[in-house]
Amino acid sequence: LTVNAVALISPANTPIIVHAYRKHPSPLKYHFIAHTALDIIEERLANGVDSYLGLLHTLEDQAVYGYVTPTRIRIVISIALTDTLVRDADVITIFKSLHTAYARSLANPFL
């Protein structure tokens, strides 16, 4: 899997961090992707789904997946669309790693 960008969004729908791993001519593209994913996340949360929200949408050459932590932090990742099969178990592993890293950074008094 090729992760293009990761966005952490607060419960108030404000971006905490949007980090792009790939260079793009328009640096705001990944902010746009994160904000468009928020609408779909709100719809799915109203239906009472699990913390893993699955594939939210595809945009050009990217697939956007969502995850909500127990503290209502929304994690959005953008994965490059290729011919390979993307398994939900792989994406869930990425989300759990990101959630653990975020929790550890919050708990670290030296950051």
The arithmetic mean of pLDDT across residues 37-45, rounded, is: 89
Domain map of the chain by residue range? 3-107
pLDDT digits (tens, 9 = 90+) for 45-82: 888 778 899 999 998 888 999 999 999 999 999 998 88
pLDDT digits (tens, 9 = 90+) for 13-32: 999 999 998 777 777 888 99
CB-count exposure of residue 55 (10 Å: 0-12, 13-18, 19+): middle
> What integer pLDDT is reported at residue 76 of this predicted model?
96
Which one is the CATH code of 3-107: 3.20.20.210, 1.20.1290.10, 2.40.420.20, 3.30.450.70? 3.30.450.70
> What integer pLDDT is reported at residue 59 of this predicted model?
85
